[in-house]
Amino acid sequence: MKILKKAKDNIFLILIATSYILLFVIKPDMGVTSIKNSAYYIKEMLMIMPVIFVLTALLDTWIAKEKITKYLGKESKVKGIILSFVLGSISAGPIYAAFPMCVMLHKKGASVRNLVIILSSWAVIKVPMLLNEAKFLGIKFMAIRWVLTVIAIVVFSWIASKIVKDEDIVQKEEKASGLTLNRESCMGCTLCTKNYPEIFGMQGKKAYIKAYDSEIDKERLNQTILACPVRAIRYNE
Q: What is the pLDDT of residues 197-210, one digit of tens each?
A: 988 988 878 888 88
Q: What is the pLDDT of residues 154-189, one digit of tens each?
A: 999 999 999 988 767 765 554 444 788 888 778 889
Q: What is the pLDDT of residue 236?
A: 76
**Do residues 155 and 118 lie in contact, with contact meaning Cβ atoms separated by under 8 Å?**
no
Give the DSSP H/E element, type plus range, for residue 201: strand 200-203
Owning domain of residue 193: 173-235
- Give strand pairing partners of 235: 179
**Do residues 181 and 209 lie in contact, with contact meaning Cβ atoms separated by under 8 Å?**
yes
Using a cut of 0.85, tell me whether the model's pTM lies above it.
no
Whole-number Å distance between alpha carbons of 188 and 234: 16
Residue ranges of the chain whose pLDDT lies below 50:
174-177
142 and 112 share one domain: yes
**Do residues 104 and 67 lie in contact, with contact meaning Cβ atoms separated by under 8 Å?**
no
152 and 186 share one domain: no
118 and 182 share one domain: no
Whole-number Å distance between alpha carbons of 127 and 84: 14
**Do residues 183 and 206 lie in contact, with contact meaning Cβ atoms separated by under 8 Å?**
yes
Q: Please tell me the total count of domains within the chain.
A: 3
